[in-house]
Amino acid sequence: MTELRFDNRVAVITGAGRGLGAAYARLLASRGAKIVVNDPGVSMGGDGGDAGPAQQVVDEIIAAGGTAIANTDSVATPEGGAAIVEAALKEYGSVDILIHNAGIVRRGPLKELSYEDFESVLDVHLRGGFHVVRAAFPRMCDARYGRIILTGSINGLYGNRDVVNYSVAKAGLIGLSNVAAIEGEEFNIKSNIILPGAVTRMAEGLDTSKFPPMDPELVAPAVAWMAHESCTLSGEMLVSIAGRMARAYAAETRGVHRPEWTIEDVAAEIEAICDTHAPLRFPPVPTGHLDHLRYSFEMASKN
Ligand code: NAD
């Protein structure tokens, strides 16, 4: 297969000073993309700031013959999101690829988590996603080209203890990606989600000694493919963890129709309602919402 390249493409990558984002930046730059390495260099919990991580990734890219600039604005505010996208437009004249990868973690059980810890995690992951997509999307529509990759997590699909803020934010990003995919379709904009797993500083405190190899570099090709012009997916989610790549998607059981329901009917039918035999799938693009309605209405009209 011919090498997939990104010559003349401009990629904005949030949180690219460390971990997964840095791996995406290095890979895309090595294939010709011009990169905005965004990262304010905050702590795991989102405190402080350090221009060093973003600059270090830029220095590495330039030393390897690539093209990149550093940006230290925060995705957590509308002004910060706009400034990150503006940095790409000012330096390189376009934003073809947007990878929202920035993230923080603040742990706490549901019965104790503070509103501040809830909001600050939503600000970076979920609102941060909106801030950069909102700024980049009109430009991509004008250019009739765009590739958006948002960072979900299996936490957003399955949840986990002590991270309700994170699980909520990651689940919310699926909605953002789906709408960008639907509204972007006519403009050749594709939007997808990566559900990554890698040993980064986010694994601090875990015993990773028995984990299989889980370097961020194992995840980067999936993200880079979704960032490429030949990407065929939109409104989809790819899992990449420890060398395993897979597709995650929403499905519905075929369901049961009755013209009227009592509570007792639900109790009597619950097994049939939940029967996962021959599940239904309504991909968001092009018409998942409508297909769901159509299927449900057809069931009603048949009975
Ligand atoms: P990381 O901590 O190494 O990198 C995250 C980067 O985001 C940091 O460099 C940080 O400074 C930056 N950041 C934080 N707040 C920011 C802000 N307001 N604006 C811009 N940048 C900001 O962590 P990672 O493991 O590389 O995580 C990258 C992404 O992948 C995150 O969204 C994370 O939730 C997600 N993720 C990671 C894993 C995993 O296994 N590592 C699993 C699921 C999801």
Whether pTM > 0.95 for this model: the answer is yes
Q: In this structure, is residue 3 part of a structural domain?
A: no
Looking at the fold, whether 29 and 168 belong to one and the same domain comes out as yes
Measured by CA distance, the residue closest to atom 31 of ligand 1 is 103
Q: Give 262 Cα–ligand 1 centroid separation in angstroms.
A: 47
Looking at the fold, whether 220 and 268 belong to one and the same domain comes out as no
* Closest atom of ligand 1 relative to the 44 alpha carbon: 2
How many Å apart are CA 171 and CA 63, to the nearest integer? 38
pLDDT of residue 190: 98
Domain count, the chain: 2
Residues with CB under 6 A from ligand 1: 14-15, 17-21, 38-42, 46, 53, 74-76, 101-104, 124, 128, 151, 153, 196-198, 200-202
pLDDT of residue 29: 99
Looking at the fold, whether 33 and 96 belong to one and the same domain comes out as yes
132: CB partners within 8 A, 6+ apart:
12, 14, 75, 81, 84, 85, 98, 100
pLDDT band for position 204 (50/70/90)? Answer: confident
* Closest atom of ligand 1 relative to the 151 alpha carbon: 32
Q: What is the dihedral of CA 13, 18, 19, 23, to 10 degrees?
A: 50
Q: Which residue has the tokens 């449900």?
A: 296
Q: Give 287 Cα–ligand 1 centroid separation in angstroms.
A: 32
pLDDT band for position 253 (50/70/90)? Answer: very high
Residue 205 has pLDDT above 90, yes or no: no
Q: In this structure, is residue 281 part of a structural domain?
A: yes
28: CB partners within 8 A, 6+ apart:
6, 9, 11, 13, 35, 97, 224, 227
How many Å apart are CA 74 and CA 120, to the nearest integer? 12
Q: What is the secondary structure of 24-36 as a DSSP string?
A: HHHHHHHTT-EEE
Residue 43 domain boundaries? 10-248
Residue 295 has pLDDT above 90, yes or no: yes
pLDDT band for position 240 (50/70/90)? Answer: very high
Looking at the fold, whether 51 and 181 belong to one and the same domain comes out as yes
Q: In this structure, is residue 34 part of a structural domain?
A: yes
Q: Give the tens place of pLDDT for each residue, 14-50.
A: 999 999 999 999 999 999 999 999 999 999 999 999 9
CB neighbourhood size of 266 (10 A): 12
pLDDT of residue 210: 93
Looking at the fold, whether 237 and 289 belong to one and the same domain comes out as no
Q: In this structure, is residue 272 part of a structural domain?
A: yes
* Closest atom of ligand 1 relative to the 42 alpha carbon: 11
Report the CATH number at residue 29: 3.40.50.720
Poorest-pLDDT segment among 42-56, 150-164, 194-208: 194-208
Q: Residue 121's closest CA among 220, 42, 207?
A: 42
pLDDT of residue 1: 84
> Is 166 assigned a catalytic role?
yes
Among the options 92, 166, 249, 295, which is catalytic? 166
Domain boundary among the residues 248, 272, 289 is at 248
What is the bridge-based pairing of β-strands 237-241 and 97-100? Answer: unpaired
Measured by CA distance, the residue closest to atom 40 of ligand 1 is 197
Best mutation site among 42, 44, 122, 237 for ligand 1 pocket (most ligand atoms within 8 Å of CB): 42
Looking at the fold, whether 32 and 92 belong to one and the same domain comes out as yes
60: CB partners within 8 A, 6+ apart:
26
How many Å apart are CA 203 and CA 65, to the nearest integer? 31
How many Å apart are CA 223 and CA 227, to the nearest integer? 6
Looking at the fold, whether 167 and 44 belong to one and the same domain comes out as yes
Residue 125 has pLDDT above 90, yes or no: yes
Q: In this structure, is residue 171 part of a structural domain?
A: yes
Residue 303 has pLDDT above 90, yes or no: no
12: CB partners within 8 A, 6+ apart:
35, 36, 38, 84, 85, 87, 88, 95, 97, 98, 99, 132, 136
Q: Give 3 Cα–ligand 1 centroid separation in angstroms.
A: 28
